[in-house]
Homo-oligomer: A and B are copies of this chain.
């Protein structure tokens, strides 16, 4: 079986090098830019790939929705297996792409779309074949972990570290997708969908921004509770058969494994009824790590591994059915029946709430932010 790669950017070129070096020959690369080193492997015409019956697997590393979506749909309809590193595409068209893969009897893999080089999604699906997943959670964004780690280790403030992350190329010029949670929300939606055999949409994942965290928050949380902060996505199966899915900064015990995940590394965990907790740690981004994850999915397919794409849509998302305590730092107090404890320091209230519904807290946060746009919110993990 021959291989085609769509897009010769950072991830596509990394996967190309890795596959060829390890005996998996790439027959065609689609890119509209010139790449002399590719010789006649390069094409700018997708039909050269679609109509090549030797090509059995198409690895999409273009990113974004179009033309990636059109190309992937055509590949699936042509009976070619598809691998993708594109979280935006997978999240937006999860149902359509799985249905098409199923109808055409081909395998759809997208390990490299979440967690960079970490074989997370692949292992999540493999584990779930023989287990009931009850919860997933993880540090899935290297930029925000780099920022938090630098703030905590060097006692620096958010904006200063963000500027450094941008200078180092870890953060985009417009950092919103990272620091406001869209990137983690997509990764959480995809992970939750696979975990619970359902379809979680990006907009169903309630999301707090990390943007308002301050040096004072970190110091207070450390001194008062001996806890640290990480920015994480969660998918939880509730007792009533619904699932909850959200992205929040979280207060973690200093002894938690995630508290030792430093720099731009990622760690994602699953909890299975039989297997217990399994955690996966590695580089969440980068040409060769993410290229390796894309290449490994391709290699599995070339080596004959096939996977079903059948979905049963068992669960609905309901963030009313999950409760936890929250940390709030704001310039006003919420209703007293919500408060477990608070202190006032330098005109700011540092509050721990009673257990609250995730949905109620995310609504409350929106209303607090209207009068106090610098307020900060975080979940509390035991």
Contacts and interface: CB of A to CB of B under 8 A. Distances in A.
Nearest to A302: B129
A275 B130 contact: no
Interface string A77-88: 000000000000
Interface stretch (A212-220, A259-267, A317-325, A342-350): A259-267
A288 interface: yes
A63 interface: no
Contacts of A126: 119, 296, 300
A276 B283 contact: yes
A292 interface: yes
Given A275-B289, A282-B279, A289-B274, A127 B257 contact: no
A18 interface: yes
Interface string A266-308: 0001001111111111110010110111011001100111110
A131 interface: yes
Contacts of A288: 273-276
Given A129-B22, A303-B306, A305-B304, A119 B278 contact: yes
Interface in A1-48: 14, 18-19, 22, 24
Contacts of A306: 303-304
Size bracket, chain A contacts:
35 or more
Contacts of A281: 257, 269, 277-281
Nearest to A17: B274
A380 interface: no
A123 interface: yes
A92 to B, nearest CB: 27
A118 interface: yes
A56 interface: no
A134 to B, nearest CB: 13
A117 interface: yes
Contact of A295 (B130, B260, B307): B130
A127 B282 CA distance: 13
Given A130-B295, A276-B289, A279-B282, A257 B255 contact: no
A256 interface: yes
Given A278-B282, A281-B278, A281-B281, A296 B129 contact: yes
Q: In the complex, which of the residues A261, A269, A272, A276 has the most CB atoms of chain B within 10 Å of its own CB atom?
A: A276
Interface of A: 14, 18-19, 22, 24, 117-119, 123, 126-127, 129-131, 255-257, 259-262, 269, 272-283, 286, 288-289, 291-293, 295-296, 299-300, 303-307
6 contacts: A118-B278, A260-B260, A280-B280, A304-B304, A304-B305, A304-B306
Given A18-B130, A277-B281, 20 more contacts: A14-B274, A24-B130, A117-B278, A127-B296, A129-B299, A130-B296, A131-B292, A255-B262, A256-B260, A257-B257, A257-B261, A259-B260, A272-B292, A274-B289, A275-B292, A276-B282, A276-B286, A300-B305, A303-B307, A305-B305
